[in-house]
Amino acid sequence: MRLNIDYEHISFGGGVDSTALLIEWWRKELKPIDIIFSDTGIEQTKTYEHVAHIMKLAQEYGHKTIVVGGYERAHQDGNYTMYPDYYSYCFQNKIVPLRAYRKECTYRFKIVPSNRYIRSILGIKNFRNKNILSYIGYNYDEKNRINDTVYKWQQQIFPLIEWKLGRKHVKQICRDYLGYVPIKSRCIICPNQNPIEWNYSYNHHKEIIDDLVINAQSDILNFPITKKDLGINPDPKQKLLTDFLSVD
Ligand code: SF4
């Protein structure tokens, strides 16, 4: 770990892994530091409820909790367009979220807002010569993911990997502490959903999925996807995810 840290924070995603990271942080009585949740604006209702619950607990443990969101695009003429959520960004820019490059949503609606906040509190335009520590909730079974995420200005630390806590452990940690396992944190329109997850999204946010399909089929986007293509089956006897039950 570097000395002379300018800023350090825990990156909270609202899912099982980063929730278990916080629970272990509290159990080990580590120093309370800032917790940043990047809100894409199109998360599941149950995720928002869970995030609110965890943020309240975190404040009781002495953390400062920050919710950031919205993507601000700079234009050449010096003006800006602010997109409050990933869904409005897609449709205003004629992007079909179902085939959008997934790193784009993560970058614009999670990484950029978080970085904007950190720069604002440090009063800087860029991170040159600054030492920033980010604690990330990848679990031990995801060790290989740490190679994906390298920024020169930011040192990323993966406590769950250091503590050798895999997927099974993090779910148990949540179950023991909270009495439930949070649902996988995933946008309602995330292209990476499997059919069970699409059905969950449809059953909880019908109007958004219907709108997505209508917009995708419109002349503007011309991407004729149907609910059936997504695996959505309105049969009430189908296998459904229950709230606060992790997908895998
Ligand atoms: S959950 Fe899916 S849609 Fe949302 S930011 Fe992540 S990859 Fe993008």
How confident is the model over 134-152, as a mean pLDDT? 83
Domain, as residue range, for 129: 7-69+102-178
What are the tens digits of pLDDT across the range 60-96?
999 999 999 999 888 989 899 999 999 999 888 888 8
Residue at 228 is within a domain: no
Split at pLDDT 50, 70, 90, the class of 19 is very high
Rounded-to-integer distance, Cα 19 and Cα 42, Å: 19
Mutate to test the pocket of ligand 1, among 68, 87, 105 (most ligand atoms within 8 A of CB): 105
**Shortest-distance atom of ligand 1 to CA 189:** 3
**Shortest-distance atom of ligand 1 to CA 42:** 4
**Shortest-distance atom of ligand 1 to CA 109:** 5
Residue at 143 is within a domain: yes
Split at pLDDT 50, 70, 90, the class of 15 is very high
Q: Whose CA is nearest to atom 2 of ligand 1?
A: 190
Q: How many angstroms does the Cα of residue 189 sit away from the middle of ligand 1?
A: 8
Residue at 162 is within a domain: yes
Q: Is the pLDDT of residue 20 over 60?
A: yes
Q: How many angstroms does the Cα of residue 89 sit away from the middle of ligand 1?
A: 13
Contact 42, 86 (CB under 8 A): yes
Instruction: Please report the pLDDT score of residue 236 as a whole number.
Output: 57
Residue at 159 is within a domain: yes
**Shortest-distance atom of ligand 1 to CA 185:** 1
Angle between helices 206-217 and 195-204 (to 10 degrees): 110
Rounded-to-integer distance, Cα 210 and Cα 230, Å: 12
Residue at 64 is within a domain: yes
What are the tens digits of pLDDT across the range 85-142?
999 998 888 888 877 666 789 999 999 999 999 999 999 988 888 889 999 999 999 9
Rounded-to-integer distance, Cα 125 and Cα 106, Å: 21
Q: Residue 165's domain is classified under what CATH number? A: 3.40.50.620
Residue at 43 is within a domain: yes
- Return the higher-pLDDT residue of 171 and 238: 171
Averaged confidence pLDDT in the chain:
88
Q: How many angstroms does the Cα of residue 37 sit away from the middle of ligand 1?
A: 14
Q: How many angstroms does the Cα of residue 61 sit away from the middle of ligand 1?
A: 29
What are the tens digits of pLDDT across the range 27-39?
999 999 999 999 9
Q: How many angstroms does the Cα of residue 4 sit away from the middle of ligand 1?
A: 33
What are the tens digits of pLDDT across the range 187-206?
999 988 888 899 999 999 99
**Shortest-distance atom of ligand 1 to CA 97:** 3
Residue 35: count other Cβ atoms within 10 Å of its Cβ. 24
Q: What is the DSSP string of 215-239?
A: HHHSTTT-----TTTTT----TTS-
What residues are in contact with ligand 1 under a 6 Å CB criterion?
Answer: 40, 102, 105-106, 109, 186-187, 190, 192
Q: Whose CA is nearest to atom 7 of ligand 1?
A: 102
What is the count of structural domains for the chain? 1
Residue at 221 is within a domain: no
Residue at 112 is within a domain: yes
Contact 3, 126 (CB under 8 A): no
Pinpoint the alpha helices (H) of the chain: 16-27, 45-60, 86-92, 102-106, 112-122, 159-162, 167-178, 195-204, 206-217
State what percent of residues in the chain have pLDDT above 90.
60
